């Protein structure tokens, strides 16, 4: 579901957060970090 949401709307920050959390639980930490970096960048744009 998260991947589908990001395909439809790339700047959906909630989905990037959820993706990062899910990946951390599965332990591909590099991918999780990438998701959190994207979330951080989107947060800077919103402010």
Domain range list for the chain:
2-46
Q: List Cβ neighbours of 16 (8 Å cut-off, separation of 6 or more).
A: 6, 35, 36, 38, 39, 42
Per-residue confidence at 11, pLDDT binned at 50, 70, 90?
confident
Residue tagged 């930490």 (tokens): 29
Looking at the predicted structure, is the pLDDT value of residue 47 above 90? Answer: no
pTM value? 0.74
Enter the tokens of residue 29.
Answer: 């930490």
20, 32 contact by CB (below 8 A): yes
Give the integer Cα–Cα distance in Å for 27 and 43: 24
């Amino acid at each position: 579901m998260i991947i589908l949401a990001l395909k439809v709307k790339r700047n959906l920050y909630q989905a990037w957060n959820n993706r990062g959390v899910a990946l951390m639980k599965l332990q591909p930490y590099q991918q999780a970090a990438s998701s959190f970096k994207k979330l951080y960048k989107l947060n800077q744009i919103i402010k």
